[in-house]
Amino acid sequence: MEDVKINYIIASYNGITGSRKCEYSEKVLDFQLEKLRHIMDEKKKNNIDCLVKKITIIITDSKKINSSIPTFENYYLFDKWKHMFSDIEISFQPYVGSNNHFSYDQWLQGIINNLNDYTHHIIIEDDYCIDPECLNFDIMLIDIYKKKFKDNIGFLSQKYGDDIYNSWISNGLISSDTLKKIDDPLTKFYGYNLYPQITFGYLFTDNGIPITDYSEYFKITFWDQRFKELKDMSENKNIEIECFIPVEKIILK
């Protein structure tokens, strides 16, 4: 897959909210990057291709967005991560906006900023990580993407609901060709007056772009903030291999 170049985009938030007060919340982004580094090192040891050619972290400042929101002061460990990924491009892209669209416009900004340099974009939230056992995660995602979207245009989500516009868990993969089909995608996204999760779905479907998930290929675990528990949302309960997993699945073992 020499023609495939993946940009790994992490949507992040350094503010302390009701759902992010626990003792490990300040460390989730660093935890994700450590797991990604581990996977990349294991790939090298086992001569497995790495399709991820860039890591883009969208940087937010909760104090600029709302001065009353407390901030995790040591959330962004820039020097550590630059050293950790000295063999791959890593970018700290400042977020532009009021951050009331959750991760969705962060991902769009990350894709648009790298639209012509990378063929595909993994989108993931800061409190998830790649399963350290899934060394082929990037190769598998591309393989599934090609099976699902013959023309390389579509949004491959982790888990979609019965309503096609409602992505329950939106971590996934989007090609640059997909965003190129949408004229001024960020402006269109902001033009919707809907919940951001629903808006993200409409952005694709209103432009004739298919959406699907990979639930028949990977086990899907979700961290339920309300009940503080992990939930299995897999379509096939016999599948054990995972791709994106909530950090709680490892941290709270």
Look at the domain 6-215 and name its fold. Spore Coat Polysaccharide Biosynthesis Protein SpsA; Chain A (3.90.550)
Q: Which residues contact 103 (CB under 8 A, 6 or more apart)?
A: 11, 123, 125, 170
Instruction: Print pLDDT tens along the chain (253 aa).
Output: 669 999 999 999 999 887 788 889 999 999 999 999 999 999 999 999 999 999 999 999 877 667 788 889 999 999 999 999 999 999 999 999 987 788 999 999 999 999 999 999 999 999 999 999 999 999 999 999 999 999 999 999 998 765 544 557 899 999 999 999 999 999 999 999 888 888 999 999 999 999 999 999 999 999 988 888 999 988 788 999 999 999 999 998 7
